[in-house]
Structure 1
């Protein structure tokens, strides 16, 4: 209960005074905090150090510290403020839109269409057009031009710089990224025995695992991964009696996987996953696997513009938070704005949604 009470205070502090504000400077960012709030925020301790204040069990600390992997660091280095992630799930729960996450995208599409927004899909952008340090429009791969004084890029911000603006070398911001992922999508004939909606498989030696994955850019010897069986909550996501299974395996960045063939890597990971599941008594017989799709780090980079295959955008190190993070308004190009995981306030669906609202506020403020 002490942990929940402390994390609740941090949670309210983060969302009421820090995360959801467009700050123009470090001082502007921390100005709403009292000295006591700043001192007790946990930002001066590591996440693991913060968890040690409340838990003796290393297993509990490793479970709550595992969120660090998706923030691009280890619990031994990321700020203790991120204890709010475990609190958020414990206090607020996990929510699944009826029909799956894709139903959320469809609902937003419907809302936009009702407001008169024209949506073009299947049209890749070749470059953002700039003249006299201001946006003038965008050029599609088929050569068509769209003129506009304002552009919001939802492509990963570092990818926008390098691939759509052509910034290279010192002109491109140096950013530390979160790991890449291999994602596997399985349609199974039966409900897997011994599994629930959410399961996270952690390594026995967490510190060594983080060092391999994030510190040295290597695939850990003991593979951590996440498994979701959404049909446990919403059976309509698969035919009656069948299961839809999603697996996410954190991996080093694409630039650290150059020696791997992606198809061979997918097969290697699948075998290791099935072995680990069998050790835990979760039966997924290969003959019951009816549908199988895989997205490799290379697929994520190419299809969705994720820089170096990084799945969760820029890492949340101390100096990539708040005003230190990739800004949602380009400092060098007037009329160019960013949304997504690498800009403020950060990664994850809730934060990205809040970030879209913050970017909209920027645009409305800047419009003449």
Structure 2
């Protein structure tokens, strides 16, 4: 693996999870580290929005593999308790509550015995046996690809066949059908259409319809449904704040409100970072974590255009608890599926301006106060709780809608849909304080207005994804969702560590979550 030699002074651009992970691993090896963040708070896509009397996560709400947070903290000799005694991370049970258009529902548990009982209740004992076979296959996919595809940098696609061990891992994935289609592989193993949705909707995180996604992305379903989904007291934003605190305590430098305007190069190698306020930060190397358009604007040559993932409309706000407590679904994460499935993905992923909004939306509702009651608050003498509603939608390449005019009517349409589905009072009583659309993400420098970066189609996966080290720009290393290994909280944490390794930080294996028993 190529590395950058002689780099001691490192500037990290961006204080999201990728940047903070990179900074902690770099600082833990003795590097002089400065993190520059354009916002006035850390977090990036796990930051916060302020509301009247409360805060709410502004981005990712689903946490898997929290041991990767521990790994980053441990790089500077810290742990969760030492950086923030209030940073409690708890496994959710169920991870999700899935509701379907026929009126049925399934609680999605990571514990195999509990999940087997749930599937037996809803789908029958034969489908429960099939679930166990699917669970074992998902675990095998995850174990076969984690070290070789997820926790790895690539200098070339030839890295996949560069050693006997690499060939063995590749052969194992081929035997498992990892380069087939995820939808087809899941359909072979389970028959109930509701369960098929539960174990394939995660492909949307990778920016691909389940029917088209590579089966290797069954690893995401494994993380969600077997390794577990976790909640964080104080919200996901607390993770970024704890990581930033550990960095500063270890001697790292954090500069907020610093928007990077350019990089300085001497002899073709980066030697400084300039900010819009006229400051210059000398360095031997830089780690860039923003999305593709921002990164390309800082580099001296153009890149090939990539296909962006679908985007999302997200409603952030609060609702009186006397309204929300009457809803049938009382869970941290609720996936409310529409009747349509394949058509929904087709509508969102049509190319070249032909995309459409979901005609029968499937939505994710997140109510963090159900796991962390401390997030409830009073306003005007009435108890409220934070609430987020996420609706996948086309990106701006697929559908260049005028979101300034469309946002409010679409918000009202989504709330009417939910009200009809049994969330009585949501249309009238849900106060939406922040409404994010593809236009929001585009204004933040995200490609095609998508917070999910480059879609994980074959040509943008693994060794074909944008590399985190480009020999044409010495001293520049990438981290974040646009490079390897890709989109998602665990993967961007990994990307930070991989970026640090490119800068000469030796790998220290502290272990990772083991696959839970599959009850064969």
**Per-residue CA distance 1:63-84 (angstroms, 9 max, x = gap):** 3221122211111111112122
Q: Distance in 2 between matches of 1:205 and 1:158?
A: 34
For the 8 Å contact 1:2–1:54, the answer to whether it is kept is yes
Q: Distance in 2 between matches of 1:312 and 1:94?
A: 19
Q: Within the alignment, does 1:360 sit opposite 2:500 as a pair? A: yes
Tell me what 1:269 maps to: 410
Tell me what 1:134 maps to: 269
Q: Distance in 1 between matches of 2:471 and 2:312?
A: 31
Change (3 A) 1:74 1:111: same
Change (3 A) 1:259 1:153: same
Which one is further off, 281-290 or 330-339?
281-290
Q: Within the alignment, does 1:308 sit opposite 2:467 as a pair? A: no
Deviation at 1:344, TM superposition (A): 0.5
Which aligned segments of 4 or more residues in structure 1 are displaced greater than 4 angstroms? Answer: none
For the 8 Å contact 2:334–2:365, the answer to whether it is kept is yes
Deviation at 1:180, TM superposition (A): 1.8
Deviation at 1:36, TM superposition (A): 4.4
Q: Distance in 2 between matches of 1:156 and 1:42?
A: 31
Unaligned runs of 5+ in 2: 1-131, 507-520
Q: Distance in 2 between matches of 1:198 and 1:354?
A: 24
Tell me what 1:46 maps to: 181
Q: TM-score, normalised by structure 2?
A: 0.65
Tell me what 1:56 maps to: 191
Selected match of 1:165 from 271, 287, 299: 299
Deviation at 1:114, TM superposition (A): 0.8
Aligned length: 360
Deviation at 1:206, TM superposition (A): 1.7
* Bigger relative contact order (CA 8 A; separation at least 6): 2
For the 8 Å contact 2:144–2:173, the answer to whether it is kept is no
For the 8 Å contact 1:301–1:307, the answer to whether it is kept is yes
Q: TM-score, normalised by structure 1?
A: 0.91
Q: Within the alignment, does 1:298 sit opposite 2:436 as a pair? A: no
What does residue range 1-368 of structure 1 map to in structure 2 within 5 Å? 1-30=132-161, 31=163, 32-34=166-168, 36-161=171-296, 163-165=297-299, 167=301, 171-190=302-321, 192=324, 193-195=327-329, 196-216=331-351, 217-239=355-377, 241-262=383-404, 264-290=405-431, 292-303=433-444, 305-364=445-504
CA-atom RMSD, angstroms? 2.1
More helix by share: 1
For the 8 Å contact 1:157–1:326, the answer to whether it is kept is no
Q: Distance in 2 between matches of 1:131 and 1:355?
A: 27
Which one is further off, 109-118 or 187-196?
187-196
Q: Distance in 2 between matches of 1:345 and 1:63?
A: 23
Q: Distance in 1 between matches of 2:474 and 2:248?
A: 27
Deviation at 1:140, TM superposition (A): 1.1
Change (3 A) 1:3 1:285: closer
Secondary structure of 1:242's match?
A: strand
